[in-house]
Amino acid sequence: MSVIRKSLARFSVLSLVLVWLSPAGQPIAAEPTKDAIAAVWKARQDGVRTARFNWTETGLIAAGTKLKRPSGDQPPEALPPNDRKFKRSVTLSLNGKMLRFSEIGPAWDASLGTLVKRLYVSTFDGETSRRFYSGDEAVPRRFAALGFDHAEARNQESNYFMLAPVLLTYRACDPDTGGRDLAKFDIRATKGTIDAHQCIILASAPPSEIVEELWLDPDRDFVVLRVARSMPGKNTTLDISYDQNPKLGWIPSAWRWVAFGPESGRIFEEHAASVTLHEFNTDVPREQFQFTYPSGTLVRDRRNSEDYVVTDGNGKRSVTPEDLRELRGTPADRSR
């Protein structure tokens, strides 16, 4: 029996804690507490030291729901003119707090007002947080490859919605790595139902402009079936499906994120993922959570307050006006 299964076996009874007898002598299960939920989450997290997921992601950006950044005194322009669909490949690796995330395929570029095919890589090796955006692969040299070394030593992807199904399953008790601090949530008196599964709803406590709900399935070790957010001008839902593994328990297998108008219901953007590979507790060395910028990358190092261009042999040279002219705006817009 795997470590995960042993751990979950110790805590699965927590979903039925504090059982008492009704006057008629029938057992009634009291409501699970946040402590009981956290215990099950922690057992699953402790059982998964490393994880790797690959998935295929398809998406939709609705006509007129994105903006092209203006130049000079020009007003922003609503784009695209027609609905745009896209498909990309994604890889996510975890080792403790370390994370590597990469995607290759079309991404929205706010400065150009269109989808461009790029490689995006985000890494955190426990010390350095690094992001890389390749140049436009469809039109070489339209803008320079761009890298960021962040001043904060943390995972920069903890709030990215398309990673939430994996992070909320295997790092749920670590807010720095995409989990949640349950002290900031309340258990709602009302419940919700998803595909015949009655869910406990955790809601973020006010005050906040963004209200988040986590819909948990108590019959499946409190896995998150839905993440719903409401905010000014936009609501989002993330619905997650799971496959059951006899040794590893419930594993995220597919998910769908939708952003829509809170009153009109109009869909602004949609992303859907289908997992093609998952593996757990394999040897994933720290070097896989590091990234070396390719030659020609313009790097903005916020740790040392310097900008430079990577040269052959991983050298550095000072940024020139020509380098800056090659850099068109900012990296691809990434909804959170």
Domain ranges within the chain, ordered by starting residue: 3-326
Q: Lowest mean pLDDT of 35-39, 210-214, 221-225, 319-323, name the range.
A: 319-323
Residue linked to tokens 């504090």 = 18
185: Cβ contacts below 8 Å, ≥ 6 apart: 34, 202, 203, 204, 205, 214
Name the pTM for this structure: 0.86
What whole-number distance in Å separates Cα of residue 170 and Cα of residue 30?
26
Backbone angles phi, psi at 182, to 5 degrees: -65, -15
What whole-number distance in Å separates Cα of residue 182 and Cα of residue 197?
22
How many C-beta atoms surround the C-beta of residue 64 within 10 A?
14
Q: Lowest mean pLDDT of 121-125, 137-141, 244-248, name the range.
A: 137-141
187: Cβ contacts below 8 Å, ≥ 6 apart: 31, 32, 33, 34, 200, 201, 202
Q: Lowest mean pLDDT of 34-43, 73-82, 120-129, name the range.
A: 73-82
Nearest CA among 7, 55, 4 for reference residue 280: 4
The structure tokens listed for 296 are 């020609």
Portion of the chain with pLDDT greater than 70, in percent:
85
Answer with the residue of higher pLDDT: 248 or 257.
257
CATH architecture assignment, domain 3-326: Clam (2.50)
Mean pLDDT for 104-129 is 91
- Alpha-helix residue ranges (DSSP H) falling in the chain: 3-11, 34-47, 164-170, 321-326
